């Protein structure tokens, strides 16, 4: 059992991907995104994965007035972009060195950020601390959205549901369509894709419930358990790279 679990932890965030591994990792990340998004909203009234809303909010309040809202929105969008850029830098650094943890490195960094945030956020007493909260959470969401995009070849998103709900509607339309024209290929639905998308939207929703309930009960500490789960899920390939590096250094020259 231990060997089986060890092999699984080496592969679920490893470089050799399968549709099953992609779905399992995406499910965890969708739940994580729902929790983080909900905690951000309950704590500071900002959906930190919702770049469409933040961008619209900046535009609206530039006209209506509200410097704090504009600043918060600009910070959130900038932090999200910075998180995606950080993901690309770390991923390409690992890919160029043929690291097993090319994906997992990003997830470990995300898990550590969420863990530290969950442990330390309550201690921050600065009167504008909501800006720190928005910056950290949006940066994390940017990293997560970028890494699952790379892992799945842009087929899966986990930090927002607009695209997934759109794809669910497309698949339902394909299911409902009756092909009547002879000589043309039929419209072929993808029940597996429909099930995957429905699962991810459902997990994002469940994460939102858990995040709101957890924050109301214990504050930012509600993020700690999920951060630990993400860290365990992603740590295997990183640990394997560390061991490989240590073995390489211990070999005698020549």
- Per residue in 104-134, pLDDT tens? 999 999 999 999 999 999 888 888 888 999 9
Q: Say which residue the tokens 């927002």 belong to.
A: 160
Cα separation, 249 vs 53, in Å, equals 50
pLDDT digits (tens, 9 = 90+) for 151-197: 877 677 777 788 889 999 999 998 988 877 777 788 888 889 899 99
Cα separation, 215 vs 63, in Å, equals 33
- pLDDT score for 216: 95
- pLDDT score for 38: 93
pLDDT digits (tens, 9 = 90+) for 44-66: 888 888 888 889 999 998 998 88
Token pair belonging to 88 = 């690309």
pLDDT digits (tens, 9 = 90+) for 25-50: 889 999 999 999 999 999 988 888 88
Q: Whole-model pTM?
A: 0.88
Mean per-residue pLDDT for 55-82?
Answer: 91
- pLDDT score for 253: 52
**Is 4 a residue whose pLDDT tops 60?**
yes
Q: Are 237 and 100 in contact (CB under 8 A)?
A: yes
- Among candidate residues 61, 86, 82, 84, the one with its CA nearest the CA of residue 71: 61
- Between the alpha carbon of residue 5 and those of residues 19, 49, 66, 102, 232, the distances in Å are 19, 32, 52, 20, 11
Q: Are 113 and 140 in contact (CB under 8 A)?
A: yes
pLDDT band at 87 (very low <50, low <70, confident <90, very high): very high
Supply angle C-alpha 239, 244, 248, rounded to 5: 150
Q: Angle of helix 67-96 relative to helix 129-152, nearest 10 degrees? A: 40
């Amino acid at each position: 059992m231990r060997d089986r679990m060890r092999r699984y932890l080496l592969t679920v965030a490893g470089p050799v991907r399968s549709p099953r591994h992609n779905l399992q990792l995406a499910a965890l990340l969708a739940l994580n995104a729902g929790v983080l998004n909900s905690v951000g909203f309950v704590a500071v009234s900002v959906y930190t994965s919702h770049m469409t809303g933040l961008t619209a909010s900046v535009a609206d309040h530039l006209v209506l007035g509200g410097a704090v809202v504009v600043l918060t929105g600009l910070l959130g969008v900038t932090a999200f972009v910075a998180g995606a850029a950080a993901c690309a830098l770390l991923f390409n650094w690992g890919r160029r060195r043929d690291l097993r943890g090319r994906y997992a490195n990003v997830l470990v960094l995300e898990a550590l950020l969420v863990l530290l945030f969950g442990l330390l956020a309550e201690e921050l007493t600065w009167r504008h601390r909501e800006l720190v909260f928005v910056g950290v959470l949006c940066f994390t969401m940017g990293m997560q959205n970028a890494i699952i995009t790379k892992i799945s070849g842009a087929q899966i998103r986990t930090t927002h549901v607009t695209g997934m709900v759109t794809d669910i509607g497309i698949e339902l339309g394909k299911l409902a369509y009756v092909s009547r024209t002879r000589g043309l290929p039929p419209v072929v639905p993808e029940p597996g894709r429909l099930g995957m998308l429905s699962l991810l939207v459902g997990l994002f929703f469940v994460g939102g419930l858990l995040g709101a309930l957890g924050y109301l009960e214990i504050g930012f500490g509600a993020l700690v358990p999920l951060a630990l789960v993400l860290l365990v899920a992603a740590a295997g390939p990183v640990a394997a790279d560390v061991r490989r590096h240590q073995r390489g250094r211990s070999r005698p020259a020549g």
